Amino acid sequence: MVIRPQQISPAIRWSGLAALLFVALLVVGPLVALSLRSGTSATLTSADWAAVRFTLFQAGLSAGISVVLAIPVARALARRSFRGRSVLITLLGAPFLLPVIVAIFGLLAIWGRSGFVSQILQSVGAERLNIYGLSGVLLAHVFFNLPLVTRLILQGWGRIPVEHFRLSAQLGMSPKDVFLRLELPMLRSMLPGAFLLVFLLCITSFAVALTLGGGPKATTVELAIYQAVRFEFDLGKAATLGLIQFVICAIIAFWSLRAAVPVAFGGGLSAVTQRWDVSSKLMLWQDGLVLFAVTGFLGAPLLAVIGRGLPALTSLPVTIWPAILNSLTVALFSASLSVLLALALAGFIDRLKSQHNKMSSMIEGAGLLTLAASPFVLGTGLFIIIHPIADPFALALPVTALVNAAISLPLALRALLPALQHNRETYGRLTSSLDMRGWSRFRLTTWPAIRQPLGFSTGLAAALSMGDLGVITLFAPPDVETLPLIMYRLMGAYRMDEAASVALVLVALTLTLFWLFDRGGRLGHQT
Amino acid sequence: MKRSLLAAALVTFGGATWAETPTLTVYTYDSFVSDWGPGPAVEAAFEETCGCDLVFVGAGDGAALLSRLKLEGARTKADVVLGLDTSLIANAKATDMFAPHNGIPSDLDLPVVWSDDVFLPYDWGYFAFIYDKTQLPDAPTSFDQLRKSDISIIIQDPRSSTPGLGLLLWVKEIYGNGAAEAWEELSPRIVTVTKGWSEAYGMFLEGEADMVLSYTTSPAYHLIAEEDDTKAAAIFEEGHYMQIEVAAKVAGSEHGQLADDFLEFMMSDTFQTIIPTTNWMYPAILPSNGLPDGFVAENQPEEALLIPIDEVEAIRKEALAEWLSALSK
């Protein structure tokens, strides 16, 4: 019997192409709109180039550190089962979901000049900490992204069939051998994509880089764009900077996706991964220490946010209720859109892989690049496009949801694609030989493989959208408030305590939303 | 007969449609429209008399407000723009999007003479460094002292924030050609530079620095709203740079008369009384009941500094370049 690779069905092809076109229009359209509107070509100063260099430098370093640190954390989580493990995994989502400003204040409560650590240092007569500078930027970016990478790699561990571990135990393989034969190949397939994701996430960092970077030394391209749009109204320069950022990211995206070495483990029975190679006392201590440290590192700022928000919780303005509703609406809408886009793209890329490997990598890269698009360029460009034909205020919530969906698309893609590929490598030939197609194929093989990453990425997209304040500021009509907007308005009116309470409400809601989706995807499963 | 009834009905109906209350759209900065800003009270008071619907649209801060207007161009819905400041006026006038006002009230209470024919001032303040008296008993009394001290400060970025730009111009006005040197000396004092006022002020309240760049009126908020008298503004011998907040009528406005009415209302006692404890700035005309208790601290700046409106843009560019190079070392 000859098994030919399955043809790509028209449904998958057209929905994939439509999603691709949509993303391309959304990313390129605003750049074009800005350039056309300004009509002049911009000249970049040496300060702009310094910003480009710093942006790449901090993003590369942040991504590198996050990925390296995530490996032991994910490994410890993958090979240990303990009470509260599931809660810990959910909480791993928290830092990533904190609105930037909330996270900054949480981090400062621990690491700031009058934070927890500094107070301990001072009480023993030592100098207090000064994290402002590159170390502050890295600290925040690792705080945001270490948990994300951990979750992504953890999925990779989950895909190594338990049978492989059993077999290696029967063969008497040492932990080192198990690492080299099973875990390293898995990491080599996962890490480049994870690195790329964090790199892209850190590229558009603005408030973190500036606030914790300590001054203009830590100027990112995004700040230069903000300055060009807001202070100098030099739209041509904003477009040029946006384009440079975009091209650099595209090169790096293509390069790192090529660096990923695909791996095929074959199928297993997906039971709880029991491990036989990790029972030594030393490794137990090692894992325990890693998990303890990471819980402290991620949990302490979170506790600070909660503690800071509690006192004024009862004196919140009533406008918070409609704002909650607005935020939830935008979040759910943009999460659905983001996941639909991701599914369409991922299905298409996955099918292309077997026939046109290069092209599928390019499409995958394009799908990730919405992260490299500057939110300011995106927002301003869309405003220029929409303003002549419709009232931007009337479209505030849809546009916000749309942009948020585009920005969280890469995360969903990153989570879904490996699962789909793994699934095809494992069951592809079997389903083809059984001539299983369409719905039954989806229900029996694809759905079980993607429901976990699907739940995870829906949760992420919804939560990210909740905390976002990027686009809404430009489009927001006078009477539509979202939670982050209320929080900023309170801060702008000296009411820091109430702002901290709104932040707490925001964080609690965001986490709940994330938990609901993530847990929904993991029900009946063990990761 | 029937026909005339119908005609009468049509007239009445049509008349009702025509008499639909006009909407006056005022673009302003975000903190003006917030529930805690002057917006809600101003709206209620103006709507009592104007027979119109007053809609405030918040757009970031002052600078964002201007770029928003430029972005919209002639199609803008704005009838009035409220919330630009003295450092943005020249830039705003260059757009030709604003129309002259009907005259400057004679009773302005500003430390400087106001003569602009397009923009009217509605409130003002001095930039100042705020500190906690219990933490910093010996606050500096001059910029020179601050430069030589070991006091930590948080400032805002002049590329993204109005107070940050104010400080840039303040230092330039005091030190002129020596501004670059002053920034280099100040550089180690600066804990960090934030995107906007809120982040900086919040970090100061959390104890991240001894002082923060804000306004001389900031302690009044803590005193009046929180009954906390520990905050004070450091008054510098060299004088304090001013921020005057202004508004103007948009030239293409369909509601020119209403816009003029609003500007007149802006200078009225009603509006000016709302300003102090909602915008936490000095009103442009002292309200008839005076300022609230505790609003004016004992210690006040002796000299008001302000760069002439049409010189700001050139000086800003030069000062920004100096600032960037001094703080990037």
Q: Does A223 touch chain B (CB under 8 A)?
A: yes
CA distance A151 to A198: 13
Q: Side chain identity at B2, as an amino acid letter?
A: K
Given this model, what pLDDT does residue B1 score? 43
Of the candidates A55, A497, A484, the one whose C-alpha atom is nearest the C-alpha of residue A315 is A497
Query: Which tens digits make up the pLDDT trace of B27-54?
Result: 999 889 888 899 999 999 999 999 999 9
Helix ranges restricted to H, A354-395: 357-368, 375-386
Query: Which tens digits make up the pLDDT trace of B118-170?
Result: 999 999 999 999 999 999 999 999 999 999 999 999 999 998 888 999 999 99
Q: Which residues pair with B245 in a beta bridge?
A: B85, B123
Distance (Å) from the alpha carbon of B215 to chain A's nearest alpha carbon: 12
From the candidates B29, B71, B85, B205, which should be mutated to test the interface with A, based on the most A CB atoms within 10 A?
Answer: B71
Which residues lie closer than 8 Å to B107 by C-beta, 6 or more apart? B285
Q: Decide: helix, strand or coil at residue A337.
A: helix
Given this model, what pLDDT does residue A215 score? 84
The 8-class DSSP code of residue B294 comes to T
pLDDT at B309 over 50: yes
Q: Does A231 touch chain B (CB under 8 A)?
A: yes
With contacts defined as CB-CB under 8 Å, which chain A residues touch B328?
A: 50, 215-217
ipTM comes to 0.85
Given this model, what pLDDT does residue B86 score? 92
Which residue in chain A is spatially nearest to B88 when comparing CA positions? A231
- The rounded Cα A13 to chain-centroid distance in angstroms is 26
Which residue in chain B is spatially nearest to A308 when comparing CA positions? B206
Mean pLDDT value across residues B80-100:
93
- What does pLDDT average to over chain B? 90
| Whether the Cβ atoms of residue B250 and residue B149 lie closer than 8 Å to each other | no
Label each residue of A474-490 as H, E or C. Answer: HHCCCCCCCHHHHHHHH
Q: Does B197 touch chain A (CB under 8 A)?
A: yes
Helix ranges restricted to H, A92-183: 94-97, 100-111, 116-123, 134-158, 162-170, 175-178
With contacts defined as CB-CB under 8 Å, which chain B residues touch A112?
A: 203, 206-208
| Whether the Cβ atoms of residue B236 and residue B243 lie closer than 8 Å to each other | no
Q: Does B304 touch chain A (CB under 8 A)?
A: no
Q: Does B268 touch chain A (CB under 8 A)?
A: no
Distance (Å) from the alpha carbon of A475 to chain B's nearest alpha carbon: 9
> Would the CB atoms of B202 and A214 count as touching at under 8 Å?
no
The pLDDT-based confidence of B9 (bands split at 50, 70, 90) is very low
With contacts defined as CB-CB under 8 Å, which chain B residues touch A206?
A: 195
Entry pTM = 0.87
Number of Cβ pairs closer than 8 Å across A and B? 139
Enter the tokens of residue B4.
Answer: 């005339």
Of the candidates B56, B230, B33, the one whose C-alpha atom is nearest the C-alpha of residue B137 is B230
Enter the tokens of residue A30.
Answer: 């605003």
With contacts defined as CB-CB under 8 Å, which chain B residues touch A382?
A: none
> Would the CB atoms of A210 and B36 count as touching at under 8 Å?
no
Closest Cβ–Cβ partner in B58, B203, B221 for A108: B203
CA distance A118 to A15: 54
Of the candidates A271, A186, A273, A262, the one whose C-alpha atom is nearest the C-alpha of residue A421 is A262
pLDDT by residue for chain A (527 residues), tens digit each? 444 555 677 888 888 888 888 888 888 888 888 888 876 667 788 888 889 999 999 999 999 999 999 999 998 888 887 888 888 888 887 888 888 888 999 999 999 998 999 999 999 988 888 899 999 999 999 999 999 899 888 888 877 877 777 788 788 777 788 778 888 888 888 888 889 889 988 988 887 888 898 888 888 898 888 888 877 888 888 899 998 988 888 888 888 877 776 666 665 555 456 666 666 788 888 888 999 999 999 999 999 999 999 988 888 888 888 889 988 888 898 899 999 999 888 888 888 877 777 777 778 877 788 888 887 888 888 888 888 888 777 777 778 778 888 888 888 888 888 788 777 777 777 777 777 777 777 777 777 778 888 888 898 888 888 876 665 566 666 667 788 888 888 888 888 999 999 999 999 998 888 888 888 777 655 44
CA distance A370 to B67: 25
Enter the tokens of residue A160.
Answer: 């190594």
Q: Does A289 touch chain B (CB under 8 A)?
A: no
The 8-class DSSP code of residue A182 comes to I
In the stretch 224-243 of chain B, residues with CB closer than 8 A to chain A read: 225
With contacts defined as CB-CB under 8 Å, which chain B residues touch A493?
A: 31, 34, 36-37
Query: Which tens digits make up the pLDDT trace of B279-295?
Result: 999 999 999 999 998 88
Of the candidates B245, B247, B246, B217, the one whose C-alpha atom is nearest the C-alpha of residue B231 is B217
pLDDT at B260 over 60: yes
The pLDDT-based confidence of B12 (bands split at 50, 70, 90) is very low
CA distance B204 to A208: 17
In the stretch 41-60 of chain A, residues with CB closer than 8 A to chain B read: 47, 50
Closest Cβ–Cβ partner in A112, A227, A473 for B159: A227
**Residue B145: how many CB atoms within 10 A of its CB?**
15
Q: Does A394 touch chain B (CB under 8 A)?
A: no
Domains of chain A in start order, with CATH, are 1-41+318-527 (1.10.3720.10), 42-304 (1.10.3720.10)
CA distance A448 to A314: 44
b/e A179-189 (16+ beta carbons within 10 angstroms → b): eeebbebbbeb
From the candidates B42, B56, B61, B67, which should be mutated to test the interface with A, based on the most A CB atoms within 10 A?
Answer: B67
Domains of chain B in start order, with CATH, are 2-124+243-283 (3.40.190.10), 126-242+303-327 (3.40.190.10)
Query: Which tens digits make up the pLDDT trace of B178-222?
Result: 999 999 999 999 999 998 899 999 999 999 999 999 999 999 999
The pLDDT-based confidence of B15 (bands split at 50, 70, 90) is very low
Q: What's the Cα-to-Cα distance from A518 to each of A151, A194, A317, A512, rounded to whole Å?
A: 11, 19, 31, 10
CA distance B186 to B329: 12
